[in-house]
Amino acid sequence: MDLAGEYHFTITAMEVMPDHIHMLVSCSPQFELPRMLKILKGSTARWLFLAHPEIKRQLWGGHLWNPSYCVVTVSDRSRELVEQYIRSQKEK
């Protein structure tokens, strides 16, 4: 599964937490962020459920992802700070 290559975005930093994921993604300004998130959430859920169908039965309503998300834009000046924040989440 190469969603980033297929949709032309780059995951610069990522940390998986028990109940959410932090990601720093680089994409074209024309890319619709809600569409990107729908693609990421839908594709990863489909892949996981195909590989592990038993998981779907354990989830409330059979849904892997909550529909909510938070998007924050970064500049060249704040990119390094955001990357450090994401990396630091593993320690918490």
Using CA atoms, how far apart are residues 24 and 5, in angstroms rounded to an integer? 15
69 is catalytic: no
**What does the DSSP 8-state code read for residue 63?**
-
Q: Which of 7, 9, 65, 85 is catalytic?
A: 85
Residues annotated as part of the active site: 85
